[in-house]
Amino acid sequence: MLVPKSTAGAALPLLLSSVSTLCAAQPNAQTGDQTILSNEIQRISNQSLLWGPYNPGLYFGMRPRIPKSLNIGLIWGNLDDFQTAQSSFRHTCEQRDNMKGYGWVEYDPRSGGKQVIHDQGNKLDIQIDLVKVPGGKNGGSWGARVKGTVRPSVLETVRTSAIFYASLEDGTLVLENEPDKLGLLGSVNLKGNAPGLDDFHIEVTEGPETNSPPMEIDTRMEGLENEHSIKRSLYKVGAYPAQHIWRVKNILFMDLKARFDKLMSHFGEPGKLPPPWHALTVPPVYGEGNLHYVQKVFEGDFEFDILFSSDSASKPITSDVVTEGIKENEDSFGARFDSIFKRHAPFNTAEYGKFARDLFSNLLGGIGFFHGDYLVDRSQYPEDEEEFWEAAKANREMDLGQLEGPSTLFTSVPSRPFFPRGFLWDEGFHLLPVIEWDVDLAMDIVKSWYNLMDDDGWIAREQILGDEARNKVPKEFQTQYPHYANPPTLVLVLTKFIEKWVNHTSHEHPSIQGDISQILSQISGLDSGNDGIRSAILGAAEPYLRNIYPLLRRQYFWFRETQAGEVRAYDRKAFSTKEAYRWRGRAPGYCLTSGIDDYPRAEPPHPGELHVDLISWMGFSARLIKNIAIALGEMDDAREYGRHEEAILRNIDDLHWNAEHGCYCDATVDSFEESVHVCHVGYVSIFPFLLGLVPHDSDKLGSILSIVGDEEQLWSPFGLRSLSRQDEFYSKGENYWRGPIWVNMNYLAILRLREYGSVKGPHQKTAARLYKELRKNVVNNVFKNWKETGFAWEQYEQETGKAKGVQHFLGWTSLVVNIMSLPETVEITPTPGKAHDEL
């Protein structure tokens, strides 16, 4: 909840002070009881979130939230001919895979869902239904139904190889079936034990009778010694170094090549080889090892189940349970989604409903668990001299990064094929839809991010944990630098969390109440199917905030120290000589650390620069941490943050407002050592507005709204451009943030327009009009491109609205789900100060 300064100064702190007093007055809200409650909520929540498709860079990759544990995945490929087979095997999500769209069409991390993969290159549609079943003390059981259907337009016979695999870094995993050189009949059964999972069983079923192996059998194969049968499941186990076990597709290909070479040796030349559905199969190997896979070869449609059963559950999961669970998930997901994300006109139709569910499901389906070491260069690269970037570049080329860690991170990812890892700048936006669905899940992710913080308060902006993650990142971008910041967008989520806490506490919540023993009894009865666990953390918000408050404070002061800018040295006139900020990590043409990489800044870079977007983030952060301190009764801290907030808001105007351009501008130092503005009208120019730091009655608001609504500057039929059409750098160079439309910035603009349009003032009608039009433009453009391509995209072309950049970008583009849930028009608020939404 964020209201203009003129009203927010009293409204939210007063509410939080009341909440703090209320909590202190309730016997069952004492610190000890609250901590017990918080721990129990976390335990129950961890059970329902232990397992998931937490390797989102794979089309299907199941793992628990346990480091060095069990990984289960799926690889498939077309075996119609050798040439096709060379490039047809799917495992990691890749933009080059010629998909007609793929992803989760319904998904809840606590219960499962449905993923559909339109693999036109392999002539198949793959459907994977995931069902999670609570039970026992090790995260329950789960089943995945894998269903391949030949695409309707395909007339020829389609032959497919489907490979299940399970790898275990720490523990034991063995085959229960009797070995057979021909392959295994019926289900393939594995049993294992691993830390955090204890004893478990895995079953790969044979599937229904409609499953069929290729009908064309090559009789020449029958004369080969120890030849296996493609009518059976082909099992192989191998022992590999734990640090390389994630390269399962490479290992499989080595086995297939060995098989191919053996056949070439026997038959003499490629033209005499058996067909690929015989040649590209894995001969059975039995014994011990840490990588197990099961290959099945099909002709036409196929289906089989992967069943994981925790032995701590009362009974194992079965295919019948999966069938029932699929129906339950289908019924419950849609109903719950529509009740939480109530779409308003003109988006309250069935096709927009499917669009919204797809985008949101894929956002949740991009949540992953990552573990590993990471590269950090802790050398000091001072940026206080002119041409500082030259020395920094030379130091980076020396490649001084050292491995640290390991660390773990639970996070969503911006894009499964292109960015399958955590990004600090993105994550705050990712969690804004998530917190509406599952408060506990969102705050678990927030806590995971803050737990990465080092002793100084630094969190690396890009989390590249382990060899598997580094494999997807060019070497020059792998090393992180502890003096480089990134927008602290998690403050957006914490602001929303506080709003929900205030609402929860100020209304008597009937779902969970009583003394601590009664509450614990109620909590222990919750499971993944109970909505109570998703919001139970609101009943233990105080210990949660007390736990992360020191980390918030540490990070806040890290920003103040490491990203400080100069006021006195260049004789700048401002209310405060301390509240000025500069992103470190600048280079000619770029400021990657700001998140808006190539947006025009001062050229050349200068140590005297000041950046309006960074000071805006600091103002928003000061306001948030002040409100948290009030809620926790840390009044001395709250007064300190309040002074910072006031000084920052004053300095935003004193240091950055440019009357001639009618917007906020960066500052730099010219050749006469005088401070001058650098004005490139675009997202940076309206950043104080985007974060709600401009009072509704400010005379500056009218100028900002004029820029926002001007078709020759930011306004387009598809959303707000990142840079004005009139700017000299518009659409030039890399053209990443020099014109293209980004949904996250448009989302903030829509919220602010709604806010300013609902408060009486001279610009209310203009803001209300722009709100209605911008909301419609942004959603319609993302929807149109989704219908045409099957994907959400990273950005949209500023003149045509066409999708561009990274495909399957469900990060902040999924914010259109929240946008559709906003009202079509602004409701007029008679009394200033009535907050409406979100931030």
SS3 405: strand
36: Cβ contacts below 8 Å, ≥ 6 apart: 516, 520
Tokens of 782: 């993302």
Residue 208, amino acid = P
546: Cβ contacts below 8 Å, ≥ 6 apart: 31, 632
Tokens of 827: 């409701």
Distances (CA, A) of 534 to 44, 199, 358, 530, 627: 10, 28, 21, 8, 24
How far, in Å, CA of 810 to CA of 791, rounded? 9
How far, in Å, CA of 716 to CA of 726, rounded? 13
How far, in Å, CA of 213 to CA of 745, rounded? 52
CA angle 73, 77, 78 (to 5 degrees): 160
Cβ burial, residue 209 (10 Å; 0-12/13-18/19+): exposed
CA 607 vs. chain centroid, Å, equals: 34
Annotated active-site positions, please? 597, 794
Omega of the bond prior to 346 within 30 degrees of 0, cis?
A: yes
Tokens of 792: 């959400």
Strands 124-133, 198-204: pairing kind:
unpaired
Residue 619 Rama label (left phi>0; alpha psi -120 to 50; beta): alpha
Which residues are 381's β-sheet partners?
none
Tokens of 733: 């160079």
Tokens of 345: 């006109």
380-403 burial, b if ≥16 CB within 10 A, otherwise e?
A: ebebeeeebbeebeeebeeeebee
Strands 291-299, 159-168: pairing kind:
antiparallel
Which residues are 741's β-sheet partners?
721, 796
